[in-house]
Structure 1
Amino acid sequence: MRARLLAVSVAMVVLVGIAIGYTLRIRKARASAASAPPVAPEQPISLSAAAPRQLLFRNMSAGPGFGRIAALSLDDPQATRRVADVACDRFASAAGVGLCLALRPAVLPPMTDLLVLDENLNVVRRLELPGTPSRAKLSRDGKMAFWTIFVSGDSYAENGFSTRAGVLDLTTGELTKTIEELPVFFDGKRYFANDVNYWGITFDANDTRFYATLSSRGKTHLVQADYRTYRGRALEENVECPSLSPDGKRIAFKRRVSPDVPVWRLSVMDLGTRLVVPLAETRNVDDQAFWLDDLTVMYALSASPGHSDIWSVPADGSGAPRLRVADASSPALGGQGP
């Protein structure tokens, strides 16, 4: 018993250390970028339909605008980016609604503010969440917000971290802080385990069916679930951070290329046939992809800690990766999109 208690204590110390280290890396990147000369002007940005074909993202250019929401026209990506005064560590936008996850500075254990933004980037709702930002997404109609937060303190976290994936219905105000208690069935049998983690939620056009990553016993699974009946089933193994296409027929996701190496390959699965197509991007992508349209997948590719660029690639496995925005992350669309 003494040995077990010692092992649990050591594990908790390690997990807290991992969470603190991850948080400090984010804060160090902020401080380093903020000390550099300014490179982008601060200008008004609208999320409304009055600003169509607008690519929104988190600005990663060095200077005072680092971490703030920025915008470029899809028709003129070489133009000077417009940078707003709202800072986020993760960002999403859809149908005139914004979602911002912002790590609180100088707070331990880490705390995150979840901010719901209107079309003028005004905060209309704020939630306090324990942990460090990981993923932020909105349904295409802007009615459902969902996110993933890294947390520490779960002694079962054999993979080195734990997560909390939550959902907020922006129409009714219904809040699910974590989907950890979601009943999931494997081949018709209810699955039970004390190490279940979820991350990377994505909703369909009806705001009812959703998909997410379930992690347990060293494996990840794609889960399909119904938010109203609140039950789900496992579909596919080795799937992480799913992202549903606009037509609802395909899922983009990252797939681990080896059980022993933390390297992921972007792929797309046809939900009807379960056929999986690896995309032309062969570099390591640790992101929840974003569908620009039914033909194109966008993602952030990190070259070094605190730095990333936004790339795109055809969703059918053809073509080659294309750099869309340098020094940027969290791609999203303003207005009605393309």
Structure 2
Amino acid sequence: MTATPPTTTPPEAPSPADPSPLTPRRRMLILVSAVVLLAVVGALAFVRASSRADEKNHARAGGPAVSHGEVTLAPDGGGRRLVFRNMAWGPFRDELATVPADAPDGPRTASGVKCLRFHSAGGTGICLQAEAGAVQESYRAVVLDSHLKKIADRPLAGIPTRARVSPGGHLVAWTVFVGGDSYAGTDFSTRTSLLDLRTGKYDASLEDFTIRKDGETYRTADVNFWGVTFAADEKTFYATLATGGHTYLVRGDLAERTVTTLRENLECPSLSPDGTRLVFKKRVPGLSADAPWRLYLLDLASMKETPLAEERSVDDQVVWSDDRTVVYSLPGDFGADLYSLPADGSGAPARLMPSALAPAFLG
């Protein structure tokens, strides 16, 4: 009789679905991952809570309510509106925002688009923006369509200070400080550029235009331009020319590429909607060197000047809310507030809205 060898059963292989054993190294990795995840969640919660606290604190201090929504520059975009740079503290600071023109203290709708300087007309916007760089901040001029989409842009050679769009939306202009950062002194230089959206023609500097002063061609190295304002014909503009320690109102002609001096001691002109008057800032003798300006009206037919009823120094290029009223900025608790004023020298200034800058009236 032959003996049958005993059978042996091989050990069962582990199932692929079985978990790997929790080694000390694996436990440590899980612990570290959990700690990092909790830290991230906590940081996000802190940022959100801080933003909400900032909004609540500003609201308690009289600040406006701001929320994200659609902002349009279309001329027929739903009634008369005011679009501006929102200066209210919180997550929407520096964004373009809008309110109904007849309810400037109402809740604001913010767009998500940030601008340092802004203007809009005819469905076109010009937004002067800051760009963070690895070494230092840079700046860019961005032309926007009515939906706030970029249609053109140019790098800027300095700090943004003025911006304008022509009434029909075909021309845009902007000014930057190339040297210095204030108009109050004399040690600054500016560069003013023009872009024609109809042809794409870009004039990097108004200094390339022919200057006609006192009936003669004028050229010197110390020329500066700033504060463009456009006429309705989409070719005529007014601006400030500085040279030889004096400032002048000039009338420009895009077709001829000329600027002609009209009057001395005028800065940052703003043309009325009917094209007959300019409101500007004028240096008045005897005032502080840091706050030397007063607002004046110039009738272009008679060249008669009328002082406006604002006794504070206004370092701004006003905008016209209608044919009778101008709006401008003055320093405020959160950077700047907007004020309105009759353009004929009557009345008194009134605060239009807090925490706002660079307004444009649309619709």
Q: What secondary structure, in the 3-state scheme, does the structure 2 residue paired with 1:213 have?
A: strand
Q: Segments of 4+ in structure 1 off by > 6 A?
A: 33-36
Question: 1:91: Cα distance to partner?
Answer: 0.6
Which has a greater percent of strand?
Answer: 1
How far the C-alpha of 1:90 sits from its partner, in A, is 0.2
Residue aligning to 1:123: 150
Quote how far apart the aligned CAs of 1:34 are. 8.0
Q: Are residues 271 and 36 of structure 1, via their aligned partners in 2, closer, same or farther at CA, if it must alter by over 3 Å? A: farther
Q: With CA pairs under 8 Å and 6+ residues apart, which has the higher RCO, 1 or 2?
A: 1
1:302 aligns with 2:328: no
TM-score when normalising by structure 2: 0.78
**Which of 100, 104, 112 is residue 77 of structure 1 equivalent to?**
104
Aligned residue for 1:120, secondary structure, equals: coil
| Contact 2:332–2:354, Cα closer than 8 Å, also in 1 | no
Show the counterpart of 2:60: none
What is the match of residue 16 of structure 1? Answer: none
Does structure 1 conserve the Cα–Cα contact (< 8 Å) formed by 2:332 and 2:355?
Answer: no
SS at match of 1:261: coil
Partner of 2:345: 317
Q: Give, in whole Å, the separation in 2 of the partners of 1:233 and 1:310.
A: 32
Q: Is the 8 A contact 1:34 1:65 kept in 2?
A: no
Shift of 1:333: 1.9
Gaps of 5+ in 1: 1-32
Unaligned stretches of 5+ residues in structure 2: 1-49, 56-64
CA contact (8 A) 2:179 2:187 kept: no
Give the 3-state SS of the residue equivalent to 1:180 in structure 2: helix
Q: Structure 1 residues 34, 88: CA separation in 2 closer, same or farther (over 3 Å shift)?
A: farther
Among candidates 310, 324, 335, match of residue 281 of structure 1: 310
| Amino acid aligned to 1:296 | T
The count of residues paired between Structure 1 and Structure 2 equals 298
SS in 2 for 1:41: strand
Q: Aligned equivalents of 1:137 and 1:258: distance in 2?
A: 29
The amino acid that maps onto 1:250 is R
Structure 1 match to 2:233: 206
- Counterparts in 2 of 1:82-161, with a 5 A limit? 82-106=109-133, 111-152=138-179, 159-161=186-188
- 139-148 or 71-80, larger mean C-alpha shift: 71-80
State the distance in 2 between where 1:113 and 1:210 align. 23
Aligned-partner residue type, residue 73 of structure 2: L
CA distance in 1 between counterparts of 2:122 and 2:236 reads 19
Report the Cα distance in structure 2 between the residues aligned to 1:99 and 1:298, rounded to whole angstroms.
18
The offset of 1:192, in angstroms, is 2.2
Shift of 1:159: 1.6
Displacement of 1:110 in angstroms is 5.1
Counterpart selection for 1:40 from 55, 61, 66: 66
Match of 2:10 in 1: none
User: CA 1:36–1:268 in 2, change beyond 3 Å: closer, same or farther?
Assistant: farther
**RMSD, aligned CA:** 2.0
2:359: which partner in 1? 331
1:107, distance to aligned residue in structure 2 (A):
6.3
Q: Deviations over 1:230-271 (max 9, x none)?
A: 112111111000111111111111011238723211111001
Give aligned-pair identity as a percent: 41
Which is higher, the Rg of structure 1 or of structure 2?
2
Q: Measure how far apart 1:52 and its partner are.
A: 2.3
